[in-house]
């Protein structure tokens, strides 16, 4: 088993059984349900993994269990995306980075979307900045993975069904390992490039 898969299983094993802030499912159930809905729509493997792991930021950092105790945004999408980017290609980490922005985007562009949000999501929306402005919408649509993030957001919103039967986390180990092998480490600048930069500074 790859180190990435082992780390993910360990994180969910340690903290995944906790209730998913203000919802009727656990953290693990929420991720599995989002991945389940992604697969049901025939999403590519990287986007299924993004759906599964979109809230990994909540597992690597502490936050109050009671949603009403949240007084500021946890920015879990940013911490989670950074963690994922060290282990997976951008097709996994970037939709995760953008999935909170996608909620704000949908609130600004889809008149029916807000009514579908759970009460917990409405609470966090206020902390996250509320619906996007027109300028923010244009900026968001300039992101390479914005459409993937919107799809991920909708699966995120769906993945809150108490008692829904899904595949277990272990069934995703093969996918996680294949994607982890696809990550390309950042290429170090050549010595000559570093020298040029040093002279310039």
- Report the domain count for the chain: 1
What pLDDT is attached to residue 200? 41
What pLDDT is attached to residue 112? 96
What pLDDT is attached to residue 120? 83
What pLDDT is attached to residue 20? 75
What pLDDT is attached to residue 21? 67
Cβ-contact 114, 64 below 8 angstroms: no
We report the CATH number of the domain holding residue 107 as 1.10.3210.10
What pLDDT is attached to residue 191? 38
Domain that holds residue 16: 3-200
Mean pLDDT, the chain cut into blocks of 10 residues (201 residues total): 91 88 88 98 98 94 56 74 96 97 97 91 88 98 98 96 96 97 60 42 38
What pLDDT is attached to residue 173? 97
CA distance 88 to 128: 26
What pLDDT is attached to residue 201? 38
pTM: 0.84
CA distance 182 to 188: 18
């Amino acid at each position: 088993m790859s180190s990435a898969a082992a780390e993910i299983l360990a994180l969910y094993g340690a903290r995944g059984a906790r209730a998913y802030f203000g919802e009727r499912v656990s953290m693990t159930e929420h991720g599995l349900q989002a991945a389940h809905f992604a697969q049901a729509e025939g999403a590519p493997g990287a986007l299924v993994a993004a759906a599964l792991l979109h809230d990994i930021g909540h597992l690597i950092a502490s936050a109050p269990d009671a949603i009403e105790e949240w007084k500021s945004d946890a920015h879990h999408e940013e911490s989670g995306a950074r963690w994922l980017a060290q282990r997976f290609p951008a097709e996994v980490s970037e939709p995760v980075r953008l999935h909170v922005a996608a909620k704000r985007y949908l609130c600004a562009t889809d008149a029916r979307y807000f009514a579908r949000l759970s009460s917990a999501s409405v609470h966090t929306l206020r902390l996250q900045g509320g619906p996007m402005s027109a300028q923010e919408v244009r900026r968001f649509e300039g992101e390479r993975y914005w459409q993937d993030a919107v799809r991920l957001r909708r699966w995120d919103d769906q993945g809150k069904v108490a008692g829904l039967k899904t595949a277990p986390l272990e069934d995703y180990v093969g996918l996680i390992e294949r994607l982890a092998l696809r990550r390309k480490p950042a290429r170090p600048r050549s010595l000559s490039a570093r020298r040029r930069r040093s002279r310039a500074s």
